[in-house]
Amino acid sequence: MYPALQSLKARFAEIDDLRRAVSVLHWDMSTYMPQDGTASRGRMIATVEKAAHEKLIDPALAGLLEETGALPDAMLSADERAFLRLARRQFVRASKIPSGFKAEFFQHMAETYEVWVQARKLNDFKVVAPFLEKTVAYSRALSDFFNAGETAWTHPMDPHIEDADPGMTTTDLKTLFADLRRDLVPLVRELSSRSKPRTDFLSRACPKSRQVEFLNWLARNIGYDFNRGRQDLTHHPFMTKLGAGDVRITTRINETNLCDGIFSTIHECGHAFYELGLSPSQDGTILGHGTSAGIHESQSRLWENQVGRSREFWTYFYPHLQAHFSEALGDVSLEEFYCGINRVEPSLIRTEADEVTYNLHVMIRFDIESQLLDGSLQVKDLPGAWNDRYEADLGVRPSSDAQGCLQDVHWYYGGVGGMFQGYTIGNLFSAQCFEAALEAHPEIPEAMIQGNFSTLHSWLKENIYQYGSGLFPQELIHRVTGHDLSSKPFVAYLKRKYL
């Protein structure tokens, strides 16, 4: 009925295809690409990103947005209204960034990633520090682009947060995190003082090939569709969507830490379930993606923790795990295993942290990002500042850069700012979300004991996945729970489980 709307959809479909092509290049770079291919891969990524950006800020696209802006809402479907809202948002944000700058930044990120891989191997932050200094400079420049004109942000991190988690600001998050910290610190202190469960079996040797075999079996049995995806190995696990029928996950194998691969796989499956559960009508459109970093993280954390660390889950899966690794787990009971994987103890590595201490790791990174962007912390001082915060907040001090500020890929494969708050937003919403699912279907825990996740999958698809980016985060949270984002359900969940 509306030619301008159809033309606009076609243009955004082309932009989405270019972005998917970039995802292919990134996936290959993080899995199979030879080390010496970094420079040329960086140029390729920059070229395609620049082409996508130029299509997005094309004056002809601006004309279509203006024309469709006159269309009456009453004559448009809900998806069409959501599409136009998101299209305008993307155009306005992209128009603030010069295409040459974006291409340059993406090439720099590709080069920085490879240097970070080497720095981790060498356990030497100084190797990658000059690259991170440039990343901080690029990130500040992005903040300046968004701070020009009518918009005036309170903190240079605000535009980065808005990009990842629309509707959130640095001030909002600091308030939310302060509330959470008040509950977490005494809880961590109490649980850390208790006698510790047995965990010696978690560091026993388990061959890499057998872990890969089990993890693929596990992913399939919790619902991951290998006809529409695959699982590969990488340095820092991630999920990537290359198309509606191609949503890939990666994991990391540690031959003396069986849990590393298990919970990485379950976590990335949660991300993949979200993308694979989108409405088919959204394929190839800007609605055909998760709505924000925090909402996406809520789905991975729900599967990793509320499901994957539950007694019900392992009642079904532990006999299979024990049979597969009988040498390592033959003398370990289900209860010992369950208590061991839920041990609460301050630690150094975020991705290996327990549910109770995990968000303290995120808050440290959030504060450091804020300081790097506002200039109150220099890159050269990052290792010391990181180590001091860990000692102050968690009572442990990294003995190496690899255990400290080199452990996460985010600042070395992206910008600085708005990178970490999504993990805690995700933890909070995962508790609210799972609470709502259980209220609707109290039988879900019993089904998990039988290895059946169909009811949970269906509820998530109906209440979250199908909307894609059609609802902004706060809209979705309120629709699912009837409340705003809050730390209270998450803290209540932790207390029920651990106290």
What are the binding residues for Zn(2+)?
Answer: 267, 271, 297
3-state SS, residue 396: coil
Interatomic CA distance for residues 153 and 120, integer angstroms: 35
CB 421 within 8 A of CB 168: yes
Q: Is residue 187 within 8 Å of 356, Cβ to Cβ?
A: yes
Rg over alpha carbons for the chain, rounded to the nearest Å, is: 22
Distances (CA, A) of 447 to 270, 322, 438, 455: 18, 21, 12, 8
CA–CA separation, 493 and 131 (whole Å): 41
**Is the CB of residue 492 less than 8 Å from the CB of residue 428?**
no
* Residues of the binding site: 267, 271, 297
Residues 6+ apart with CB under 8 A from 346: 188, 192, 357, 394, 395, 396
Positive or negative, the Cα torsion across 379, 39, 404, 415? positive
The residue annotated as part of the active site, out of 268, 304, 355, 369, is 268
Active site (annotated) includes residue 268: yes
Nearest Cα residue to 441 out of 462, 455, 427: 455
* DSSP state string for 241-300: EEETTEEEEEE---TT-HHHHHHHHHHHHHHHHHHHTS-GGGTTSTTSS-S-HHHHHHHH
Residue 375's CB is within 10 A of a number of other CB atoms, namely: 10
Residue with tokens 């479909």: 13
Using CA atoms, how far apart are residues 12 and 154, in angstroms rounded to an integer?
Answer: 31
Q: Which of these, 63, 315, 342, lies nearest to 196 by C-alpha position? A: 342
Q: Whose CA is closest to 7, among 60, 57, 48? A: 60
Nearest to 353 by CA among 302, 401, 305: 305
Question: Which region, left, alpha or beta, applies to residue 378 given φ > 0 means left and ψ of -120 to 50 means alpha?
Answer: beta
- Give Cβ neighbours of residue 370 (< 8 Å, ≥ 6 apart): 155, 157, 170, 417
Alpha-carbon torsion (486, 490, 493, 498), positive or negative? negative
Query: Which backbone phi and psi does 28 adopt, to 5 degrees?
Result: -65, -40
**Half-sphere CA count of 238, side-chain side, radius 13 A:** 19
- The DSSP H or E segment spanning 240 is strand 239-243
* φ and ψ at residue 222, rounded to 5 degrees: -100, 0
Instruction: List active site positions.
Output: 268
